[in-house]
Structure formats: C-alpha cells, structure tokens
Amino acid sequence: MNKLRGRPRGNPPTKDLITEAARELFLRHGYRGTTVRAIAAEAGVDSALISYHFGSKQGLFGVVTQVQCARSLALAPALAGDPDGLPERLLRAVTDLWDDTGFNRLAVQNEDVMRVFREYLDQEVLARIAEYLGGPDATDRATAAVTVIGGLIFTRYLNPLPTLARLSSADVRRILAPTLHAALRPRPRTHPRHGLRPAARPAPAGRR
C-alpha cells in the first residue's frame, strides 16, 4: 500500500480520505475505541498527516461530527493553572469557541453522531478533568462539572433555549461560574456513622 508521507504534494484528496475513514471508525468503535493509527490505516495515509491536517484526534473528531465539540473543549489551556480558576477557564473554553464557530445543527439529529459526542464528554473530558483534580472524589467532582458543561452546550448551542441563547458569553459565564465552582468543590470526608447518635443503653433495673 502506498502511503502519503509528510506534507502532501499537488492536491490529493488526503483530507477527505482521512475524514471519511474517521467518520466510519468513530461511529463503529466510538471515540475511545478509535485510534489515530487505525484511522490512518483505514485512509491509507501516514498518521503524521492527521496531525498536519487536523492537529490532533480531538480536532479530527470535531470536524467529523460537525459540532466542533473537540475544539470547543480543548482541555490543555483550561487544565493549565491553579484549581481555583478552573471553572472560569472551562466556561471560557466552551463559550469562546462555540460562540465564534459555525456548526451544522443537523448533526445533532443524527443519533450515531450524538452517541459518539456523549462518549467524548464521558470518556475524554470527564477523565481529563478527574485526572487534573486528583484525590478520592475526583471522578464525582468531574462528573458534576461535565454535567454542567454538557448542559450548557446542549441548551445554548445544540438545542438552544431562547433565554439562554440570547445571553452574552460574559453573562453565561457569570451565571454558571458559581454552579461550576460548587460542582468542582472537594467533598468533605464523612465517617460511615456520621450523624448517627449511638444507641442509648438501657438503664440498670434499680434505676428505672
């Protein structure tokens, strides 16, 4: 099999080949089950061309699904910095790119595409946030955060509520920041019997 290496010469349909191969594999195996190497093999190109054309697997996924979810949730900048500012960085990562990016809302009518999108939120975004947070309650906190972020994406962009869609990006961040802070706040440790009073001992017979 001839593979195209490095920068493509002329005008071969390399990008289209990669996109079609990725779409088929994402829908067949899901986001996590599809590797860059597998996409390259399916398209018959070198895996370096995926980075060249799309930047990363996330970037390719955003193009394939046509909802730009991977680009809007580029986690590297959001997960760089102190934990206290994480809610604001996550909200900005969503609003800055989704507000400025055109996308095809017909994509949300395709259940296969939305299944893969949900998997991306669950397995990629949630896992990366949990890894950043660390600690025994990291998964719970990340789950709560992704619930807020996913709710924002669906109700402002994919299936917009009129009231939310009319708000400015700054207002969206202002309104949701306290909720996201609460979602990401460490959970207090509780003893299994916390809040339960010890059972009263029966009084001696002579004192009744």
Say if residue 69's pLDDT is above 80.
Answer: no
Say if residue 4's pLDDT is above 50.
Answer: no
Say if residue 101's pLDDT is above 70.
Answer: no
* Predicted pLDDT at 24: 86
Mean of pLDDT values over 69-92: 81
* Band (18; pLDDT cuts 50, 70, 90): very high
Nearest to 72 by CA among 153, 171, 178: 153
Higher pLDDT, 112 or 155: 155
pLDDT mean across residues, the chain: 79
Say which residue the tokens 């580029």 belong to. Answer: 74
* Predicted pLDDT at 105: 54
150 vs 162: CA distance, rounded Å: 17
* Predicted pLDDT at 11: 41
Number of other residues whose CB lies within 10 A of the CB of residue 21: 22
Say if residue 187's pLDDT is above 60.
Answer: yes
Q: Is 202 helix (H, G, I), strand (E, B) or coil?
A: coil
Higher pLDDT, 114 or 155: 155
Kindly tell me the burial class for residue 159, based on how many C-beta atoms sit within 10 Å of its own C-beta (0-12, 13-18, 19 or more).
exposed
* Band (190; pLDDT cuts 50, 70, 90): low
pTM of this prediction exceeds 0.85: no
* Predicted pLDDT at 86: 94
24 vs 30: CA distance, rounded Å: 10
* Band (94; pLDDT cuts 50, 70, 90): confident
* Predicted pLDDT at 2: 42
Number of other residues whose CB lies within 10 A of the CB of residue 53: 17
- Residues of the chain with pLDDT > 70, as a percent, come to 75
List b or e across 165-190, with b for residues whose CB sees 16 or more CB atoms inside 10 angstroms. eeeebeebbeebeebbeebbeeeeee
22 vs 57: CA distance, rounded Å: 9
* Predicted pLDDT at 5: 43
* Predicted pLDDT at 203: 53
- pLDDT per residue as tens digits for the range 22-61: 988 887 888 878 999 999 999 999 999 999 998 888 788 8
Longest dimension (CA), the chain: 103
